[in-house]
Amino acid sequence: MNKVCIILTTAFFFFAPCLAQKNKHTAKSRWWHAFNARYNTYYNGHMAFLDGNLEKEKGNKDNYTELLPLYPVANKNSREIGKSNYERTVEKMEKAIQRHSIKEKGRELNPFLWKAWLLMGKAEFQMGQFEEAAATFSYMARLYQGDPMRSGLARAWLAKSYTELGWRYDAEDVIRNMSRDSMDFRAVKDWDYTYANYYIREGSYDKAVPYLQKVIKHERRKLQRAREWYLMGQIQNLLGHQQQAYSAFKHVVRCHPPYELEFNARIAQTEVLAKNNGRQMIGKLKRMAANDNNADYLDQVYYAIGNIYMAQGDTLSAIAAYEKGNMKATRNGIEKGVLLLTLGNIYWEREQFSEAKRCYGEAIGLLDKERKDYDVLSQRSKVLDELVPHTEAIHLQDSLLALAQMPEKERYQAIDRVIDALKKREKEARNNELENNADVQQLGAQSDYRSSSQRTPSGAPQMPGAQQSGGTWYFYNPTAVSQGKITFQRMWGKRENVDNWRRINQTVVRMPSAETDSLSAAPLDDMTIVTNDSVISGPQDSVALDPHQREYYLAQIPFTEEQQAACHNIIKDGLFHAGIILKDKMERLAISERYLRRLAADYPGYEHNDEVWYHLWLLYSRQGRTMQADECMSQLKEQYPESEWTLLIADSLYAENARWGEQIEDSLYVATYDAFKTDQTEVVKANAALSATRFPQGAHRDKFIFISGLSRLNAGDGEGCMTQLKEVVEKYPESEVSQLAGMIIKGVQEGRTLHGGKFEIGDLWSQQNITLTDDSTAIDTLSTDRSDHYMFMLVYNPDSVNQNQLLFELARYNFTNFLVRNFEIEVEQAGDYNRMIVSGFQSFDEALQYVRMLYDNEALRTHIAGTMRLLVSEKNLPYLGVRIGYDEYQQFYERELAPMQVSKDNLLIIPENLEAPDIEDIAPEKPAEPQKSATKKKQQSAFDFDDDFW
């Protein structure tokens, strides 16, 4: 009986596809396709989807310093988790749809296939491919438009996809349309998730709470339910419902989630109740800090303590807690970054800029660039990088000068205090290191040590503090990378991601001077020490190099008049730059006033005091302090009547320039650039002069000088051009055109010639060479002799053409098509571009026939598309690109040479030398090499220089 059943079942499955192919729209065929789709491809894809979900759930790492996302896929770092399983799901669902779809009049007749569409969209959603998921769900909604349940599910996930994409209008449109239709009860669960996710993302937390409560009831996964309770606690806290928030965090603990989530829930509990029970909550947090299980989370504990102190208005205690959290941190993750950002903001508001710089400098390498406050952090960090060196220099030089004036006994006491503080810090650092090492050894001995899977083999090198993962490259470890950034910045400071980053001044032009040449020529001893601005060379006593000895500090104190003068120069420079930065970039007008006032009062002979009084005038004018502003103007008129700053304020157009100057200068610059492009030299000259008188400090002043110099070049005034380009480099070293000007000057210093004539930026073919001295030699008339030896020339920018490939293709073309001719190929550099020259043509007619044949070769025509093609005689070649531009020569060619009638005979099959070779010159034991081989050998030598090409 069993054998009969097996035979019948096998026969059914064998003949069913045939029956289905005969009639795809019968009930039996639909049943067969639904059965195969469900228990074959869909089953495998669904199991892969479940495996992907488990993998994502275990691998997801939330940022508890921000609002948790409802779906882990919203965390960028979690999108790749489980990707291979989700890709398998998509592949299986596509296969199921392709093989088992039965459509008639736009309707899907396979009763099971809607699940394949839904699962495919979910897999795309879980991979973070929200646009693809939206397309899938949108199609599914249209395909099952008449089915409330299937269409409702598709539209729920479509709205989720739009929400994750940030397409607010599209998500709202789907939700609004759904509210008008009846919702099938089987789609309610998915829509509860959709509403909760949408309102959370929109910040409508009061509307999100009831749907999030329903979501928690729907959730069957314990870990995900704990995440949702934590999210509920965060939302209730934002709404000011502390008791409800505390209750929600309590539910998190009851779910027995992973330790990190439970720990953060307990931390959050203390913070929400700290308003009325601050001291009690701080005590609870300190007990948590003493627990060995929390050794990796001390930064979060002390961050919470600091937050409680800040809520109570105790800023000093908060700073102490934050600093302790920073010192105790072991993970160097986002949590430490948020702590440092908060601490840096406090120092910023307290105007402790050096400490703020330190905190911001570390935080910027730990936080995500997509944070809302990241731009503010980055901007502040850059400004402080510019300001703090000046303020620290002022503080240091003031301290050194004060020490120099102290009696010897007090000076030694001050130095001893510094040494004692240094020893204390070193001792604390050693104790912390020993404590951390002991903690690591203790945790390593425990069988449940959480990071045992991340251990490295004994003796294997490991970055200090880095959380290694098996087989993970260093640069894939964000902790190690952030530590590397911090270490780099401590050693080198902030550096842009550019070449030659070690050089502080990267100006391309080196302006020679006797002082710099003499300094560079003098070799310094290995033991040279630079203190203040003086160089102490020669062998040094080891005691003087030990910061634990008095001699180390005494060597840095300025006792002589020269050393004190150097200190005062540093102070003057620091006061000047710090005062301007504080005023213009930080709006700290009170400190700026104090710095600039001190500079004007203590150093009346400072060379930039006219600018100091000008900035003070601006500062007082901005504050509406008319009396002080008038005082500054009087000082300028009395002491500096010819200063550019005095003239600027006294200008009758100053008020108009102050209000509309930016727009006026922009318009003037646009008009000047247009005039430059159309070779209106006088207009450029007049506008540049107007810029110098009306906008001497304008934002485009450097560009006016640069364009004026190029305009002089176009008129043939090379010396005038060089003068103005040097002015750009010297006065505006940070300008965007300074580097270009410097490159031109450097090229001239190296012996290269300037490009002049009719010039447009980026126009290669209209350039011609001019000299820096007057040369009235007349240009010889271009030859039109068609019997002269001609050359075929390709002119191109080296960066726009694959030169090696072009050379190879051209050489191969020559020795495979011209058996009796030897055409040589030469590549030469002419200024900023290269010329590839094919020579060996006896006349214009031969060269033109060669070009016509070459253009019939499609492969070569593609390679030479980015070049300019010219036929040039040997007589005309010396003038090309020197006294006549390539565009002008092209016009000459079209006017004089192109109309010529060329021979209709194939001249390229005639050998160059028709004389027969001498028989005696040919060795009888070695036959003569065929002409084709000789040609190939000669052509190949032209590109033997680049072995890597082959």
Q: Which two tokens stand for residue 765?
A: 């073919």
Q: What's the token pair of residue 575?
A: 């006061």
CA-CA distance, 400 to 396, in Å (whole number)? 6
**H or E stretch covering 829:** strand 824-830
In sequence order, what are the beta bridge partners of 769?
755
Tokens of 860: 């070569």
Rounded CA separation 162/159 (Å): 5
State the average pLDDT for the chain: 77
Collect all residues with Cβ–Cβ distance below 8 Å to 688 and sequence separation of at least 6. Answer: 672, 704, 705, 707, 708
Cβ atoms of 241 and 207 closer than 8 Å: no
Distant-in-sequence contacts of 598-602, Cβ < 8 A, 24+ apart = 599/572, 599/575, 600/635
Lowest-confidence region among 310-319, 386-395, 828-837 = 828-837
pLDDT score for 210? 95
Number of Cα atoms under 13 Å in the Cβ half of residue 301: 24
pLDDT for residue 581 is more than 50:
yes
* Residue pLDDT, tens place only, 280-338: 888 888 898 888 888 888 888 999 999 899 888 899 999 999 999 998 888 888 889 99
Weakest-pLDDT range from 268-277, 393-402, 504-513: 504-513
- Judged against a pLDDT cut of 50, whether residue 949 lies above it is answered with no
pLDDT band for position 901 (50/70/90)? confident
Q: Do residues 265 and 249 make contact, with C-beta atoms less than 8 angstroms apart?
A: yes
**What is the pLDDT at residue 439?**
57
- Cα dihedral: 595, 599, 602, 603 (round 10): 160
Confidence at residue 744, expressed as pLDDT on a 0 to 100 scale: 78
Whether residue 928 contacts residue 917, with contact meaning beta carbons closer than 8 Å, is answered with yes
Q: What's the pLDDT at 436?
A: 63
Distance, in Å, from the CA atom of 491 to the CA atom of 199, rounded to the nearest integer, reads 47
**Nearest-angstrom CA–CA distance, 263 and 261:** 5
Backbone phi, then psi, for 537, in 5-degree steps? Answer: -110, 170
In whole angstroms, what separates CA 286 from the centre of its chain? Answer: 41
pTM: 0.60
What backbone phi and psi angles, to 5 degrees, belong to 529?
-120, 130
SS3 303: helix
Number of H helices, E strands in the chain: 38, 10
Q: What is the pLDDT of residues 185-239, one digit of tens each?
A: 899 999 999 999 999 999 999 999 999 999 999 999 999 999 999 999 999 999 9
Radius of gyration of the chain (CA): 40
Residue 247 pLDDT greater than 60, yes or no: yes
- At 664, is the pLDDT very low, low, confident or very high (cuts 50, 70, 90)? confident
DSSP assignment of 782-804, as one string? PP--TTS-EEEEEEE-TTTS-HH
Alpha helices in 797-949 (DSSP H): 803-817, 844-855, 858-863, 886-892, 931-940
Q: Convert the pLDDT of each residue in 724-759 to its tens digit.
A: 888 888 888 888 788 778 877 776 776 655 555 444
Tell me which residue of 650, 655, 576 sits closest to 611, measured CA to CA: 576
Question: Residues 827, 868: contact at Cβ < 8 Å?
Answer: no
Which residue matches tokens 């001609």? 790
The two three-digit tokens of residue 844, written as one number: 């214009």
- β-bridge mates for residue 834, sequence order: 796, 829
d(CA 512, CA 18): 91
